[in-house]
Amino acid sequence: MASAMSAEDVKMTLGEHFEQLRKCLIRAILGVGIGIIICFVFRVYLLEVMLWPLSIATGGSPPNLYYFSPAEAFATLIRLCLIVGVILAGPYALWELWRFVAVGLYPHERRAVRKYLLPSIILFALGVAFFFVIVAPIILRFFILFAQSNFPHPPNWAVDWLGKHGVVVDAARNTTAGYLKPRLRISDYIWFISTLSLAFGLAFQTPLVVLFLARSGIVPVGRMKQFRRHILIIIMIISAMITPPDWLSMVAMSIPMYMLYEVGLFIASRKPTSDETILQE
């Protein structure tokens, strides 16, 4: 068929390759730019989504968020639109780059690589959704309740002692002195949520990484099964590196990441298809 051209059928000069790469990069950058503009247009809804885990964690009564410099709120919003815009336009940008790379591949190689693209996008979306729906509310609620329960207001020992000696002291104004309340900074909160969202999206790529390593012959499935304990340690180290410096975030990422590793081993243990066997050649 004319549409299924092999690598030998495509003859291009070096200048033509660079011209095609330039066009693909321009279209990819334009796509990312459009994604950023769309995020800015719908910035109110985007911020509502970002604040949703905090609302769930506090039972529908989220604390106020603060900014400490005149441009902080604006800069935080622009940074958020950049991150989300790149993520939303990422599939289109990858498709443009794929169009350039696919010219130099054989049809069966293109089919083999294409099988990883759609699952990768789906797994990334599942990772972000898993963080927003389950992990983020749990982590935020834990930190807020931990601060409130472990840092009580100072005891009124002096008031109690004076009361025993007949001195009446109005201590109503001191009932909440020293009691920790969340005073969250908008830039810190947005950075915390967006960073972990991206981290969980990448962590959910674990089954595809395992499958690729097994199908390409780089690391046999038997070897990956044999070194499960070592892989668990590596996963915990990776989780500690890409999550904020707290043990709860690391554990929240390590557990699903290792479970996805086992899922990848199960899939890789199955007999490869005809297209997947070319990765080993």
pLDDT, position 239: 86
- Nearest 5 degrees, angle CA 84-CA 90-CA 91? 130
3-state helix, strand, coil in the chain (%, to 5): 75, 0, 25
- H/E stretch holding 43 reads helix 43-57
Place of tokens 């009580």: 152
What token pair was written down for 11?
């003859």
Average pLDDT, the chain: 81
Q: Quick one: pLDDT at residue 273? A: 61
Q: Please report, for the chain, the start and end positions of each structural domain, with discontinuous segments joined by +.
A: 12-149+180-187, 205-273
CA angle 131–94–24, rounded 5-degree value: 150
**CA distance linking residue 243 with residue 249, whole number of Å:** 6
Predicted pLDDT at 82: 93
Q: What is the pLDDT of residue 45?
A: 94
pLDDT at residue 243, as a whole number: 78
Sign of the torsion formed by the C-alpha atoms of 259, 265, 268 and 271: negative
pLDDT at 8: 45
Regions of the chain where pLDDT drops below 70: 1-12, 109, 152-179, 271-281
Task: Tell which residue, 147, 146, 141, 175, has the closest CA to residue 159.
Answer: 175
- Write down the pLDDT at residue 213: 86
Q: What is the pTM of this model?
A: 0.77
Give the whole-angstrom CA distance, residue 195 versus residue 243.
Answer: 8
> What pLDDT does residue 98 have?
80
For residue 281, the model assigns a pLDDT of: 53
